[in-house]
Structure 1
Amino acid sequence: MKAICDFTKIPLFQTNGQSFEYPACFLPMLGKAFVQHIVEYVERSGIHEVMIFLSQHADELEQLIGDGERWGITITYSLLKKSAKVSDRVASSEAIGENELFLFCNSLQLPFFLKEHLLKPMRFSDEKTGRDLLWKVCTKNDLTEGAKQELQETKVFSLDVRSANAYLDSLHKILARKGEGLIMMGKEIREGVWAGPGTKISPTATIVAPVYLGSQVNIGSQAIVGPDSEIGNGCIIDTESSVINSSVLAGSYIGKNLYIQGCLVNQNRILKAELDTVYTATDDVLFSSVEKSIPKENTFKSPLLSRLLALVLGLATCPIYALLIVIQAVEGKKPLHSVTIIPIPQKTSSENLFKPYAKKIRILRDRSETQGILFKHLLWHLIPGFWTIAWGKSRFFGTPLKTTEEYEHLTKDWQGLYLQSKPGIIAEADILYSRYPNEEMLFASEMYYRVMDTPGYNAKLLVRYFRLLFSRRNDQA
């Protein structure tokens, strides 16, 4: 049997006012995008040939799902124009016989059917509401609008992401272990609490089951998380904040003393499900960068004590610096290569936010080459960086400079955050995450550091940095 997946309609949540700019089928559930659960459930039903029709977000969907090799199935893709109908393409397809039964599904709902349901034509509806789930076992002729009522109706348990309320309700169902067949990422550390690798929970934090915590999540002191909540990869829940019956999407930062209930949070956008309204946080940390004024003058000054310390360390490590240049030459690389970066903070305004000043600098290696190993960071970034600090162009701790390509790929809000940040050789993410962070994790860590940036906190980071240098983090160095 084949599965025909109509993934052409990928809506955003349309609310009263702004839209929540996150495609519904990509919403996380147990650490995976909802649409990935659909493909996996289809495979576990015994179907090994899947035809997926795409229109919106085609590249992202194909990259996420892949060719099916990891599940041992064959997946083919067809790109349709917005005006085209999947039923018309299926009807004209020679790959499907006239009387061949196939499973027809969509990207916004997932019925939990049995294998025996695939043996004869039927359509699936929700067991509680009776709503048609638009999934059916049928032939080409059954896809016509007039044939809908001719199919036998089968009521089943289902999940739904067509609205924020439906998504949070589905999340509650799965966390309560209703429905079977979904593969969960992470480990159950205690009854009803799942956590991915690298997640850190303060001893004074309260986790109320059921809760799913992704990888590299940090829960601050006296924070409360749960019940019925999912915290995405790389998120930071700061001190004394509460997250209840909510989903915090990957790379989001929940600041201090905040109360989140019945919401979806995506970085600085908050969707209140009950009110069907989206809010954009606009304070000094969670802000809309396009509208926020940016300092007209570059007010960055590296502390004199830091510059003197960096000068001493730079002189002391000159032999190591010279050795690194020799290693570059031996490996066939340029001792120093040029990159174009966006210096910070910028002398700019919101009108020319998208055309910031750029300049070329010379570096030994890109940050991504160290892959989160602090010993390599020490050698290839901190030791050469002593001279940058001594010249007053950077601090020990702050935001790493981004290349023009990296800057262009940032969201508008992240661009505004970056342009107002202070440059530093050691970033919060270098210490916070046990592996090289993705973009979502970097955003959360930079938001967090912006709040915590004080001399006392930087001193703690320094201690943690050197402690981690001799930990398992560097086994791969």
Structure 2
Amino acid sequence: MKVICDFTQSKRLHVDGGGFETLSCFLPIMGKPFLQHVLEYVSRLGASSLVLFLSGNADRFERFVGDGERWGVKTSYHLVKEGVSVHERIRNAAWMGSQEMFLLCNNAYLPCIDETHMHEPARFVLENGTETGWLLGTKAHMSSDATPLRATVVEALHVGSAQSYLDALARVLGRRGGPLVVLGKELRPGVWVGPGTRIHPTCTLTAPVYIGSQVNLGEHTIVGPDSEIGSGCIVDNESNIIGSSILAGSYVGKHLDVRGCIVNQNTIFNAQLNSAYVAVDEILATSVESEDDSIRVLKIPLGSRLVACMLGVATLPLYIAVLLVNALVYRRKITRLTVVSMRQSAAEETIVSEPGLTLTIPILRHRSEMCKGVRSHALWVLLPGLWTIVRGKSRFFGIPYRTREDFGKLSIDWQNLYLKSNPGIITEADILYDEHPEEEMLFASEMYYRVVDSFAYNRRLFLRYIKALFTGHNS
């Protein structure tokens, strides 16, 4: 069955005097964008191919959906001008048979339909008569003078407004989400917590609540019910998050009471008042990437370089042995990678495909090849990396360098995070995971480190790294 996706009317949360940067279809529910839930759902309904009609933000949708492999379907794209009728384009499409049945969907609603609804042409409406924009029909039903399709009343999740999004989130967390499958590790019934999350013993979690990976919940914080906190967030001491959604990479300051809101870094959207507030004081809410953009110079402390030099000299026999094993046993040489330098201007709205500053560093193994924990990391990454520190091109702890190719594959937020961060030979993910983590986990760990980066925290990382070296087990 063909599924035609009309994504030409994608909405942003909007109020007088400003808007919300995130498209509403990309707002998260249980750690996934609403759009992903839509695509997964139509795939379960039996979609064999997706035909996407796009207008604004076409590049973003195409990057997210890709070739459809992750959904198990084939995809094709059609770009239309604003104001052009998608129904008319479908009616005149040569690629669609005149009697071929298809499902028309959008990214604002997700109706609770199943296979029993997929036999007869129908349009799907809410109990109050509101059209969801979803229908099952043929090209003939796209004509303006065609007999109206039979209306089938269904329940649906809706993200067209801030309040409807929070209502949808509460329904899904309460297992009343209809077509959405609730997955994840439950700390206890109704409380989902991602890996690497730190919860202070005095924090109160009230079900239902979903907490992503690498989240830090401070002392005497209250989270829930009906709340979601995205990966890499920090909720500082004595703050409450109730009936709200905190998007990935956001920092909520001390002593705040966040109710019925969506927080996206430094923008707070109050659903009941339909108003947005941009915080200019980091005490309230900020991005985990916030920093004085005028500071661009990477400075490696002289002490770190001296320590790296002494360690390099002390381990030189071991390093030479590793080089010989690498050359004679694995038939590999030292690879000199050209990587994107950090501490340079970051992107605003578009991806930086050609970052200006690069440098060359030696490596023996790429991190994605590492699968045996910290000990393997020490041999293949740390030993050659010591001389990168001596040269003043990296710190002991930070975020790993990336090649131009790897940099170009990152999301806009991740590129901005990378360009404003400090490079390091040892990373948060190296200590947390025995195997190379998935992209989401890697992003979350880098966001978290970006916020907590300090001498005291790096000292803790050092102790955890030494412990893992002796025990053979990552944190």
Q: TM-score range by the shorter chain?
A: 0.7 to 0.9
Q: Which residue pairs with 1:428 in the alignment?
A: 428
CA contact (8 A) 1:290 1:412 kept: no
Percent identity (aligned): 45
SS in 2 for 1:264: strand
Residue deviations 1:429-477, cap 9 Å, x none? 4335665456765665455445544443332221122233435449xxx
Q: Which residue pairs with 2:41 in the alignment?
A: 41
Q: State the one-letter code of the partner of 1:333.
A: R
Structure 2 CA distance for aligned equivalents of residues 222 and 181 of structure 1: 35
Q: Which residue pairs with 2:28 in the alignment?
A: 28
Structure 1 CA distance for aligned equivalents of residues 422 and 402 of structure 2: 12
Q: Which residue pairs with 2:6 in the alignment?
A: 6
Structure 1 CA distance for aligned equivalents of residues 418 and 62 of structure 2: 31
Give how far 1:310 is off.
3.0
Give how far 1:316 is off.
2.0
SS in 2 for 1:21: strand
Give how far 1:112 is off.
1.1
With 280-289 and 316-325 compared, the bigger mean Cα shift is at 280-289
Q: Which residue pairs with 1:85 in the alignment?
A: 85
Q: Which residue pairs with 2:313 in the alignment?
A: 315
Q: Which residue pairs with 1:210 in the alignment?
A: 208
Gaps of 5+ in 1: none
Q: State the one-letter code of the partner of 1:29.
A: I
Q: Which residue pairs with 1:54 in the alignment?
A: 53
TM-score normalised by the chain length of structure 1: 0.79
Q: State the one-letter code of the partner of 1:203.
A: P
TM-score normalised by the chain length of structure 2: 0.80
Q: 1:434 to 1:34 in 2, by over 3 A?
A: farther
Give how far 1:205 is off.
2.3
Structure 2 CA distance for aligned equivalents of residues 142 and 443 of structure 1: 45
Structure 1 CA distance for aligned equivalents of residues 100 and 357 of structure 2: 61
SS in 2 for 1:182: coil
Give how far 1:135 is off.
1.5
Give how far 1:417 is off.
6.2
Provide the aligned length of Structure 1 versus Structure 2.
464
Q: State the one-letter code of the partner of 1:456.
A: A
Partner residue of 2:271 out of 270, 273, 291: 273
The 5 A counterparts of 1:160-309 are 160-254=158-252, 258-274=256-272, 275-277=274-276, 279=278, 283=282, 286=286, 292-295=292-295, 298=297, 300-302=299-301, 304=303, 306-309=304-307
Give how far 1:355 is off.
7.1
SS in 2 for 1:456: helix
Give how far 1:133 is off.
1.0
Q: Which residue pairs with 1:385 in the alignment?
A: 385
CA contact (8 A) 2:250 2:287 kept: no
Q: State the one-letter code of the partner of 2:223.
A: V
Give how far 1:192 is off.
1.3
Give how far 1:268 is off.
4.5
Give how far 1:321 is off.
1.4
CA contact (8 A) 1:364 1:380 kept: yes
Q: 1:369 to 1:58 in 2, by over 3 A?
A: farther
CA contact (8 A) 2:327 2:333 kept: yes
Q: 1:218 to 1:373 in 2, by over 3 A?
A: farther
SS in 1 for 2:278: strand
1:460 to 2:450 alignment:
no
CA RMSD of aligned residues (A): 4.1
Residue deviations 1:162-218, cap 9 Å, x none? 122221111111112224232223133322112345545343322111112334544
SS in 1 for 2:129: coil
Q: 1:197 to 1:450 in 2, by over 3 A?
A: closer
The 5 A counterparts of 1:61-80 are 61=61, 64-65=64-65, 74-80=73-79
Q: 1:419 to 1:139 in 2, by over 3 A?
A: closer
Q: State the one-letter code of the partner of 2:463.
A: V
Residue deviations 1:59-105, cap 9 Å, x none? 6545655666777x654424232254332232234565545554322
Give how far 1:257 is off.
5.0
Q: State the one-letter code of the partner of 2:13.
A: F
With 93-102 and 73-82 compared, the bigger mean Cα shift is at 93-102
Residue deviations 1:329-370, cap 9 Å, x none? 3434332414244255x799x9xx997654434444444443
Residue deviations 1:251-284, cap 9 Å, x none? 4444555543333334444433343325265649
Residue deviations 1:282-317, cap 9 Å, x none? 649946989945148x5835153x444433322221
Structure 2 CA distance for aligned equivalents of residues 39 and 355 of structure 1: 33
CA contact (8 A) 1:389 1:395 kept: yes
